[in-house]
Each structure stands twice: as C-alpha cells, then as structure tokens.
Structure 1
Amino acid sequence: MGSTLSVNAQNKIEKEYRIKPSQVPKEALDFIKKCPFKKKIKWYIEESQNGKSIEAKTFYQKRKYSIEFTSEGEPEDIEIKIPFSELSIDLKKTIQSSLDSIFAKSKIKKTQVQWVSDRATLISLINKKNVKAAYATNYELIVKGKKEKHSHYYELLYSNDGVLLKMLRVVNDNTDNLLY
C-alpha cells in the first residue's frame, strides 16, 4: 500500500497535433471499426520523450475516450476520463495519502482509468463483453502539485491497488492536451 517510487519526477515533454484518417495506419483504423463509437474520431500524432504514437479521441457514453497506438497501429492502451469520486473509497484514500506524501499541496485536475492489454481484449473491454484474458487497470491523474514553494503539473500513474507506478513533471504548456 502506498508509494515506493522516488518523488523526483522525470519530465514529460509532449507535443500533439491533428492528422487526417488517411495518415493513420490501417491496423489502428481496423481497431476503431470494431468499437461501438458513434461520434467522429479525431486522430492525433503525439510526440513525447518516448517517441511517436498515434491517438484516437472520441466521446462514447458521455465519456472522453483516448486510444493510443504505436506508430505501426498496434494498440498500447485505452484511457477513459472519469471523475476521481468514482474510484473506490479505499483507492481514493490510498492515492490521496500518496499525494500528501509527495506534495505540500495538491489538486487533482483529471482522472482517467487506463486499460492495458492485447488488441482483442481491449476491443472486448470497449464493447463491454465478458473478458477472460488478463488486462491491467491503472489510473492516470493530472495533478497540480506544490513542492518547495513551486507549483507544477504532474502526470501520475497508479495501479489498481494504489501503488504509484510512474510520475512525470509536465514540461511546457501542454496541459491543454493533457486535460482533454
């Protein structure tokens, strides 16, 4: 329980820009065709310290969905924006305790549930089908945190048990993209 990760965050440098569906790999387009999305899909290239990826963003059942793909079109993860209040009481307490130990003051700006698995399992999860295969459920938070008299935005990734897996300090003003 809690966090064992060093509180010295690496930097997250990210640039995102729109692309046309014609610029998207066939594998990513095929993945999206198997999803129940009715609204328009907006496609993006995301450049970060980890390289380039492709992202599909849409609304589905009153939630913002973001599906990240490798540059070859293989799915990496699915993120769904949710209110922090929807997390279980125990998970909220564990995460808040972790934030209190890292920051003098913090405010959660965005919470997303993140699914990580193979292509078929991710498609089943989106389609709300019975999933027998293994998949990871994580929670990504964008937090405005104050440390040593300075406030910055941070991206924190927690496991389903509330263990801090990753912490990145957001560099430059890309918070508009992160808060989408």
Structure 2
Amino acid sequence: MFRLKKIGFSVVLLFFCVITIVAQNKIEREHRILKSQFPEVLYTKEKLGDDVKKIKYYKEVGPQEVVYTTKFKKVKLHYHMQYSNNGDLQNIGFRIKQVDFPFEAFTAINNQLVYSYDKFKIIRMYQQYPVQSKEDEASVLKSAFMNLMEPNMQYRLIVKGRKDGKKVLKEFWFTASGSFVKERNMLPANYDRVLY
C-alpha cells in the first residue's frame, strides 16, 4: 500500500515537472486590436503621408514584452512598424520577394535553411530596419521608405518546414549579408473564429 502511494506521488511530481518545463517555451501570437487600444505614437497617418492605405493594428504578447505593430500599404508595398509598450519605434520593414534579395545574401540564407531542414518552404520575407536610438528614427524611416540597402538592415523570414519527421514553423533573422542572427518558434495561424 505504501509503495503504491509512493509511486503515485512520483508520477504526480513527474507530471508537474514536465508541465513546468514545457511551459517555459512560450510562443508568441499576435492578434488584431482597435486603434483606441494602440499606444500613443509619434508616426501617425498624417506624418507618414496621404498615400498610406489599409492601416491595421496588432498586439503581440510574449514572455518578455508586449509589442504593438501597425501594418499598412504605401506605394504598393506592405509595411509594418513595431512599437514597444510605451510607444517607442523598434523597427520598420516591408514585405519582399526573392528577386529583391542580393544574390550572395539569398544564397547564404538558403544554404542555412537547407542545412537546418529536411524540407522547407519560405512563407514570407521581410526587409526591416531596426531603430537603435530615438535620434535614428527619422533616418531609419527615410531608408525604409526609399528602400535603401543599409549595412544594419535585416531580413526576416517566416519558414514552414520539416525536420526529423516533425512539422515546424519558425521565424528567422539574417543580416544584410545573409549571416544568421536568431530564430524563434511560431504558432500556426489562429482559426478560432472559423466555426465551420
């Protein structure tokens, strides 16, 4: 009898340890919010120009911080601007295609992905410009809207692939030359709103 209680207690303890370890790997997901829920920011539609269309607001809650994103269309490009919780601009970028990459950079990125996955497909690609300080914001916006090739810009790729028989969805960051910076697991799109 005592031995059964000891085994039962061990199983319960093991279960809670596994749950605690799994809970440490939090993955972020963004969801759409209203403009009134977005923090007060410096760059509004009036400051970005009259050619800004289809503005949407998103909030992403992660393990370390809350990030707010504005997505819009300007001069046939799909832009995004990420802000911190208190409204400071973190980066700006836009969606690109494979033909927009320099050949050497895309070759280096593709080689890294071939090495990482058995099979993969690039879902989306972005060219983004990080903001280092408040003083850099104006020059970063100018570089992004003029589509300039800057040494500090980054490429962000959303990749769906298969590794060791498992499906994975990840977000990768690479430098302008194609060197690996970091990666992050992603959740698949949320289809809770679809009833049938």
TM-score (norm 2): 0.73
Q: Distance in 2 between matches of 1:111 and 1:11?
A: 25
Root mean square deviation, CA, Å? 2.6
Q: Distance in 1 between matches of 2:163 and 2:144?
A: 38
1:52 Cα offset (Å): 0.6
Report if the CA contact (8 A) 1:55-1:67 is conserved: yes
1:11 Cα offset (Å): 5.6
CA shift digits 1:104-137 (9 cap, x unpaired): 111111100010123222232244399xxx8721
Aligned length: 162
Which of 75, 78, 88 is the matching residue for 2:102? 88
Q: 1:149: which partner in 2? A: 165
Decide which structure has the larger Cα Rg and report it.
2
Higher normalized strand content (fraction of residues):
1
Q: 2:184: which partner in 1? A: 168
Report if the CA contact (8 A) 1:25-1:72 is conserved: yes
Give the SS at the match of 1:80: strand
**Greater RCO (CA < 8 Å, at least 6 residues apart):** 1
Which of 121, 139, 143 is the matching residue for 2:155? 139
Q: 1:65: which partner in 2? A: 79
Identity of aligned residues (%): 26
Which of 99, 114, 124 is the matching residue for 1:110? 124
CA shift digits 1:136-170 (9 cap, x unpaired): 21000011121111121111100011111011122
TM-score (norm 1): 0.79
1:122 equivalenced with 2:140 (yes/no):
yes
1:98 Cα offset (Å): 0.8
Letter matched to residue 111 of structure 1: M
Letter matched to residue 47 of structure 2: K
